Amino acid sequence: MAPIAIGMNGFLPAHAGTSGSAPQTPESQGPLAWNCTSATIHLGIDGGAAYDPNRFGADPAAYSGQIQAVSAFVYVPKRPGRYPLVEMSHGLGDSRADWTVWGKVLASRGIIAVLLDRRTDIYPPASVAPPIACSSFEALSGPRQTTENDTDSVGVSYNVNSADILRVLRWALKQSGNPASLLYHKVDSGRLAITGHSFGGYLAILAANLSNTQRVDSDTGAKDWPKIKAVVLFDPTDIPVGTASSLTSASRISVPTAVLASGSQANSLDDHQIFTALPAGLNKLGLQVVGAAHNESENPDDDDTSPPVSSPNPLHQKLFMRYGMAWLEYWLQHACTVSPYLNGTSSASDQSRGLIDVFPGSTSEQGCDPLVNS
């Protein structure tokens, strides 16, 4: 493949997109045109965990704290104005390319989307190769494991990767003040959210807890982690790496959190336990998309296209997006129109049809967020 020219600040030239008519349901394409660009984000060396060759592989240079950059797709509404921002963290063995449909829908509905690859990703290896254009992935079809999926076989340090979620938010806030950036004057610092799928959900739980902690950020020497307003967890796992249990961290989350589960037996116990671990007084939504496979929250989903697993079910993907988008729009945009999907009449309708199963303890978000958009 020919070399790709990188613009200023690690960005590739933007790839433009448009959307359809006004949205009818939360998962529908919105009315806004958008740009997508690919960025290399330099984060520096993180010494958050000691190098362990038994865990991270034989090559210390591959350890996630030593790979100093990550790649991301950034989807931004074209219309002038400041917008909320959502950062999406992929699952183990996946990449940002599994969430490009989400990026388009979010941007078309007025939410900036940052689709992040971790330091450990091998395609493209951000430390040695330029970022890949948004359009390069969008042109691909069919299974893409050999062209875009990473392995996370080295450097899965939870200290590094969970903190990186917040470091990327800080990068986006700085880019909003950079006239050369696609994000210039675009990011609303008071409306930030994170999502994570599977192992990425585990990291998002830790990041949400870290955002609310009093721990000093080694990058700045201050207690100034970016603050988030909402969390969406897609089939999160409880993988206690070291002492960092997602159940313990979930009990300390202080912002509205949704847990959207598949029908996978391997993860259903984790999903229910994580939801139950959330604080009793927290605004929260838990539901299972009945019959869904573990990766069907991804869109596109190229992991469920090989035997013996069938092709991804578009209805399952639609339902994950419906409830994920509803949660984000409610807490980031104060969109009253989505409240029926948040343990209200619309979710009750989906449940009566056997499409979803709402977890007991989910709160009903009837009406708008009382915080006004200043």
Residue-range domain boundaries for the chain: 8-358
Query: Can you tell me whether residue 29 is helix, strand or coil?
Result: coil
Helix 314-333 and helix 345-352, axial crossing angle in degrees, nearest 10: 170
Task: Give the pLDDT score at 161.
Answer: 82
Query: Looking at per-residue confidence, does 79 or 373 come out higher?
Result: 79
pLDDT value, residue 333: 92
Statement: residue 256 has pLDDT above 50: yes
184-231 pLDDT, tens digit per residue, is 999 999 999 999 999 899 999 999 998 987 677 777 777 788 999 999
Residues of the chain above pLDDT 70, percent: 69
Contact 184, 226 (CB under 8 A): no
Separation of alpha carbons 202 and 11, rounded Å:
28
Q: In b/e form, how buried is each residue of 268-286, taking b as 16+ CB within 10 angstroms? A: eebbbebbbbbeeeebbbb
CA distance 352 to 235: 22
Closest CA to 194 of 232, 248, 238: 232
User: What integer pLDDT is reported at residue 224 of this predicted model?
Assistant: 82
Q: For domain 8-358, give the CATH superfamily.
A: Alpha/Beta hydrolase fold, catalytic domain (3.40.50.1820)
- Does 276 have pLDDT greater than 90? yes
pLDDT 10s digits, 67-106: 677 889 999 999 999 999 999 998 877 778 889 999 999 9
Amino acid occupying residue 201: G
Mean pLDDT of 285-308: 78
Give the predicted TM-score (pTM) of the model.
0.84
The backbone torsions φ and ψ at residue 71, rounded to the nearest 5 degrees and listed phi first, read -110, 150
The whole-number pLDDT of residue 270 equals 81
Q: Is the pLDDT of residue 60 over 60?
A: no
The Cα 177–Cα 303 span in angstroms is 38
pLDDT at 11 exceeding the cut of 60: no
The whole-angstrom separation of Cα 372 and Cα 369 is: 7
Tens digits of per-residue pLDDT, 125-183?
A: 444 444 456 765 554 433 333 333 444 444 456 777 888 899 999 999 999 999 999 99
Asked whether 324 and 260 are in contact (CB, 8 A), the reply is yes
**pLDDT band, residue 242 (cuts 50/70/90):** low
Q: Across residues 309-320, what is the average pLDDT?
A: 86
Q: Please tell me the predicted confidence (pLDDT) of residue 268.
A: 58
C-alpha–C-alpha distance, residues 73 and 29, integer Å: 18
Mean pLDDT of the chain: 78
The arithmetic mean of pLDDT across residues 242-264, rounded, is 87
Question: What is the per-residue pLDDT for 139?
Answer: 43
Please tell me the predicted confidence (pLDDT) of residue 220.
75
What pLDDT was estimated at residue 57?
A: 44
Please tell me the predicted confidence (pLDDT) of residue 59: 43
pLDDT at 24 over 90: no
**Tokens (6 digits) for 5:** 């020219």
The H or E element spanning position 321 is helix 314-333
All residues at 6 or more sequence positions from 60 whose CB lies less than 8 Å from its CB, including other chains: 51, 53, 66
> When comparing pLDDT for 367 and 104, which is higher?
104
Residue of 181, 239, 196, 32 whose CA lies nearest to 99 = 196
Residue of 17 and 201 predicted with greater confidence: 201
Position with higher pLDDT, 114 vs 96: 114
Q: What are phi and psi of 259, to 5 degrees?
A: -115, 110
Q: How confident is the model at residue 9 (pLDDT cuts 50, 70, 90)?
A: very low
Q: Which residues pair with 217 in a beta bridge?
A: 222
Contact assessment for residue 215 and residue 180, using Cβ atoms and an 8 Å cutoff: no
- DSSP annotation string for 339-365: GGGTTSHHHHHHHHTTSEEEPTTPPP-
* pLDDT of 310 strictly over 90: no
Residues 6+ apart with CB under 8 A from 242: 49, 158
* Segments in 98-240 forming alpha helices (H): 100-108, 134-138, 145-148, 158-175, 199-211
